[in-house]
């Protein structure tokens, strides 16, 4: 589905939806809601350093074609107030507060990278709140990460138009070309764009992600506490959080489907957006075989 197709049957897109705000004790959350008004809402949990406008409109708008989709800034990020915590558990509590403020009793979660760690924590602790779980480009507790090395490498490439190009895509011409198209899509919105925060957000976020991966969970207690149907997805050549994390999570989760994409890095979901959206739809909409 092309962006044009989406735009033609959905008046409101990630690029055109107004940013809304909802206030809880101590934190005012920024968010955008698009797509259908009925159905289980899909709440998106964003990656390290990303805000609402870092999502790919090609993914978000296509997902919103048949369900409500909510993108938001967690505490301290973008135009949400409050302080960004330095640990995943506190980020999960903030995200649950946001979902509660919206009055949502049941949601699906799509967590990407650091957002996938938060999504695991929420799903494990809130069995009734989370219906289905999608974990993309992420790691289990005690998993393998190369965040700092990869960031250093990406920011040293001064000729790259955006550090996300080397971080999210491979060096192949197909992946690089998909990366440039992704960057272009994320820049279509001109007015009411989300703000970048810099180190007051990225420092605690980096600490949270690194601590998550440095904290062993030898019995996989957290993964075993997740009972929801889960889709685990990753790029074949993710240099930040390798695909072996996804395979390891698949093996420990009680009800998980694993999908790995070819010739792709951390941003596999944006590179293979058409295929990824189809896989998410199939996962969210298919009922399990009757027991």
Stretch that binds a copy of itself, among 11-19, 46-54, 79-87, 283-291 (CB under 8 A): 283-291
Cβ neighbour number for residue 38 with a 10 Å cutoff = 8
Residue 256 near a copy of itself by CB under 8 A? yes
Stretch that binds a copy of itself, among 42-50, 97-105, 108-116, 243-251 (CB under 8 A): 243-251
For residue 229, what are its two tokens?
């149907």
d(CA 219, CA 225): 11
Closer of 149 and 174 to a copy of itself (Cβ):
174
Stretch that binds a copy of itself, among 4-12, 112-120, 220-228, 250-258 (CB under 8 A): 250-258
CB of 174 to a copy of itself, least distance (A): 4
Closer of 187 and 251 to a copy of itself (Cβ):
251
Cβ atoms 155, 247 nearer than 8 A: no
| DSSP-derived 3-state class of residue 248 | helix
Residue 4 near a copy of itself by CB under 8 A? no
Residue 2 near a copy of itself by CB under 8 A? no
109: β partners: 43, 133
Query: Which of 47, 79, 141, 279 is close enough to bind a copy of itself by CB under 8 A?
Result: 279
Burial class (CB in 10 A: 0-12, 13-18, 19+), 40: middle
> What residues from 218 to 237 belong to the interface with a copy of itself (CB under 8 A)?
229, 236
CB of 258 to a copy of itself, least distance (A): 4
Nearest Cα neighbor of 119 from 98, 96, 142, 100 is 96
CB of 248 to a copy of itself, least distance (A): 11
Cβ atoms 119, 217 nearer than 8 A: no
CB of 3 to a copy of itself, least distance (A): 13
| DSSP-derived 3-state class of residue 114 | helix
Question: What is the torsion angle, in degrees rounded to the nearest 10, for the CA atoms of residue 103, residue 202, residue 110 and residue 276?
Answer: 150
Binding site for a copy of itself (CB under 8 A): 173-174, 177-178, 181, 229, 236, 247, 250-251, 253-263, 271-272, 274-275, 278-279, 282-283, 286, 288-291
């Amino acid at each position: 589905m092309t962006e044009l197709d989406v735009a033609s049957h959905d008046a409101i897109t990630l690029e055109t939806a107004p940013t809304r705000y909802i206030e809880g004790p101590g934190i005012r959350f920024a968010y955008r809601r698009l797509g259908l008004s009925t159905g289980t809402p899909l709440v998106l949990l964003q990656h390290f350093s990303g805000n609402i406008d870092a999502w790919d409109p090609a993914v978000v708008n296509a997902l919103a074609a048949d369900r409500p989709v909510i993108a938001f800034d967690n505490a301290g990020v973008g135009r949400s107030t409050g302080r960004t915590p330095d640990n995943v558990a506190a980020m999960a509590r903030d995200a649950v507060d946001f979902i509660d403020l919206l009055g949502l009793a049941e949601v699906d979660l799509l967590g990407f990278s650091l957002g996938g760690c938060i999504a695991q924590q929420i799903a494990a602790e809130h069995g009734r709140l989370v219906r289905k779980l999608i974990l993309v480009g992420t790691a289990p507790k005690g998993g393998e990460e190369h965040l700092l090395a990869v960031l250093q490498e990406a920011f040293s490439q001064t000729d790259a138009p955006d550090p996300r190009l080397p971080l999210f895509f491979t060096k192949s011409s197909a992946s690089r070309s998909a990366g440039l198209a992704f960057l272009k899509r994320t820049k279509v919105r001109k007015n009411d764009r989300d703000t970048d925060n810099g180190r007051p957000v990225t420092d605690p976020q980096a600490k949270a992600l690194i601590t998550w991966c440095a904290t062993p969970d030898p019995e996989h207690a957290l993964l075993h506490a997740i009972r929801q149907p889960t889709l685990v997805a990753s790029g074949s050549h993710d240099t930040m959080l390798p695909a072996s994390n996804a395979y390891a999570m698949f093996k420990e989760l009680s009800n998980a489907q694993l999908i790995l994409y070819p010739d792709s890095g951390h941003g596999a979901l944006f590179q293979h957006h058409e295929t990824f959206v189809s896989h998410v739809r199939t996962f969210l909409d298919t009922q399990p075989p009757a027991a």
